Amino acid sequence: MKIACIGAGYVGGPTMAMVALKCPEIEVVVVDINEERIKAWNSDKLPIYEPGLLEVVKECRGRNLFFSTDTKKHVGEADIVFVSVNTPTKTHGIGAGKAADLTYWEGAARLIASVSTSSKIVVEKSTVPVKTAEAIGKVLKRNCQDPNVQFEILSNPEFLAEGTAMEDLRQPDRVLIGGADTPSGQKAIQTLVSVYAHWIPRERILTANLWSAELAKLTANAFLAQRISSINAISALCEATGADVQQVAHAIGTDSRIGPKFLNASVGFGGSCFQKDILNLCYVCESVGLKEVAEYWYQVVSMNDYQKQRFVERVISAMFNTVSQKKIAIYGFAFKKDTGDTRETPAIDVCKGLIRDGAKVCVFDPEVTPEQIFRDLSAPKFEWDRPNYSRSQSHMLENVQVVSDAVAAAEGAHAICILTEWDQFKTLDYQAMYEKMTKPAFIFDGRNILDHAKLREIGFIVYALGKPLDPFLVKGY
């Protein structure tokens, strides 16, 4: 059996590496139009950082795992084609700012149709709007020259989380495979089940109809993001009342109906998926006339924007209503720890908000390159997933510095903002940092990972999300 995967990104690369590792008799080729990315996949400096990924790639690469730009050849030869291309939010036209832009997906489907001389199973790995399989089926059928070629479309959404992708792939809570309710659809489902059954217990491989599988992925992301927005909403109330959001989260999380996960208040959720998938869900709801349902889910995104804005406003108000010309150290730019991914990271909105008020930000992140940070801070909203956006906000960059260690970032700074929960931030020498900073020295812990009592002992004025306010902020002495 030969598998090709179109799209060598955060999903295509790790998922196919795991398939190759667990199924040594299957040849797996990951193809991409991005030459640089493929070159990196073929080197020891992979294009994405994910714990444990390099080891798996090294074990399989050249054996039964290959990375190539020759999309036509490998897609043409494959029995199963996974499509794992990006599905960003549309930036213009009907549905701009909400609907999924399926340009890349349609391009992949046209490519599959044009090179197919044998029947194939086409697997939706990307997150797509419900009913995409119907549209893709039409593109495939109408563009393939060979009448004997049959396409069977499956939906097999990916539930991995960046930072723990390899463990999630090795031992997923479940794998979901949706297919048509026809004999050939069911046969295709069983073919894909047999691939995953190499390492995943059968009871964890769920099968469903196509539309349920497509919608389940959007729903999963909407529910996960909803929990974050819910606890973030409560964090605002905690600050206003003297309650502690961590105590509240612990108290509710011990209820087995609620559960303890995804209850950490933070500066907001990020990542390429949550916002885009909820907006997409809202758009689908609106398109079928479900205005109230769309509005309900839209609040999850609004609350996230509010949380980021609230954080910026807190920094400014705490620092005597002005950050003009003040150096502010930003610890962490990635959207979460253990990844170098910055797509939709709250750090972008927080930095832009502070810079707009005149601050000079100095960023340190252990995994994000300066080039990426400059790129993110000059890209207009929603344009980050397109290679050729115009750098319309590049004046932002005059007030951005990127450094390679935490101490350099703190030197002369008025404040430190923790925006990513990197473990190494917990053990930094804050006493040394304090001595190098301008006084009064502030810490705004946007992830609640530091020992706030200890920091206050050192002399910092500490603001933590959803926690009782620093006495300094309350009494002003």
Where along the sequence are the contacts to ligand NAI (CB under 6 A)? 6-12, 31-34, 37, 71, 84-87, 104, 107-108, 111, 126-127, 158, 160, 162, 272-273
**171 or 404, CB closer to ligand NAI?**
171
DSSP labels, 260-297: STT----S---SSSHHHHHHHHHHHHHHTT-HHHHHHH
Per the annotation, does 132 bind a ligand?
Answer: no
Per the annotation, does 89 bind a ligand?
Answer: yes
Q: How far apart are the C-alpha atoms of 225 and 252, rounded to whole Å?
A: 17
| Beta pairing, strands 360-364 & 327-331 | parallel
Helix (H) or strand (E) holding 83: strand 80-83
If you ran DSSP here, which 8-state letter would residue 89 be given?
A: B
Report whether 280 contacts 132 (CB < 8 A).
Answer: no
Per the annotation, does 295 bind a ligand?
Answer: no
In the complex, the smallest distance separating the C-beta of residue 38 from ligand NAI, rounded to whole angstroms, is 9
Q: How far apart are the first and last CA of the chain?
A: 72
In the complex, the smallest distance separating the C-beta of residue 273 from ligand NAI, rounded to whole angstroms, is 5
Distance of CA 359 to the CA centre of its chain: 27
DSSP labels, 64-127: TEEEES-HHHHHHH-SEEEE-----B--SSTTTTTSB--HHHHHHHHHHHHH-SS-EEEEE-S-
What does the block give as tokens for 72? 């036509």
Per the annotation, does 14 bind a ligand?
Answer: no
In the complex, the smallest distance separating the C-beta of residue 12 from ligand NAI, rounded to whole angstroms, is 6
In the complex, the smallest distance separating the C-beta of residue 160 from ligand NAI, rounded to whole angstroms, is 5
Report whether 351 contacts 330 (CB < 8 A).
Answer: yes
If you ran DSSP here, which 8-state letter would residue 332 be given?
A: -
**87 or 155, CB closer to ligand NAI?**
87
447: how many CB neighbours lie within 10 A of its CB?
24
Per the annotation, does 202 bind a ligand?
Answer: no
Which SS3 state, helix, strand or coil, does residue 335 take?
Answer: coil
**173 or 255, CB closer to ligand NAI?**
173
Judged by phi (left if over 0) then psi (alpha if -120 to 50, else beta), residue 451 lies in: beta
Nearest alpha-carbon partner for 16 in 64, 70, 71: 64
Hey, which bits of 115-180 come out as E strands?
Answer: 120-124, 151-155, 175-179
Per the annotation, does 343 bind a ligand?
Answer: yes
In the complex, the smallest distance separating the C-beta of residue 235 from ligand NAI, rounded to whole angstroms, is 25
Whether 351 sits among the annotated catalytic residues: the reply is no
**176 or 329, CB closer to ligand NAI?**
176
- Nearest residue to the partner ligand NAI, using Cβ: 9
**271 or 466, CB closer to ligand NAI?**
271
Name the one residue in this structure whose structure tokens are 């060598």: 8
**227 or 456, CB closer to ligand NAI?**
227
**127 or 229, CB closer to ligand NAI?**
127
In the complex, the smallest distance separating the C-beta of residue 162 from ligand NAI, rounded to whole angstroms, is 5
Per the annotation, does 85 bind a ligand?
Answer: yes
Per the annotation, does 162 bind a ligand?
Answer: yes
Report whether 89 contacts 99 (CB < 8 A).
Answer: yes
What does the block give as tokens for 53? 């990924």
Give the Å distances, CA to CA, from 149 to 121, 139, 187: 11, 14, 16
Q: Which of 273, 282, 285, 351 is catalytic?
A: 273
In the complex, the smallest distance separating the C-beta of residue 36 from ligand NAI, rounded to whole angstroms, is 9
Per the annotation, does 273 bind a ligand?
Answer: yes
162: how many CB neighbours lie within 10 A of its CB?
24
Please, where are the H alpha helices in 270-405? 274-287, 291-318, 346-356, 370-378
In the complex, the smallest distance separating the C-beta of residue 151 from ligand NAI, rounded to whole angstroms, is 17
Amino acid occupying residue 126: S
**8 or 136, CB closer to ligand NAI?**
8
182: how many CB neighbours lie within 10 A of its CB?
10
Per the annotation, does 110 bind a ligand?
Answer: no
Question: Residue ranges for the binding site?
Answer: 7-12, 32, 37, 85-89, 126-127, 162, 273-276, 343
Query: Which residues define the annotated binding site for NAD(+)?
Result: 7-12, 32, 37, 85-89, 126-127, 162, 273-276, 343
Provide the annotated active-site residues: 273
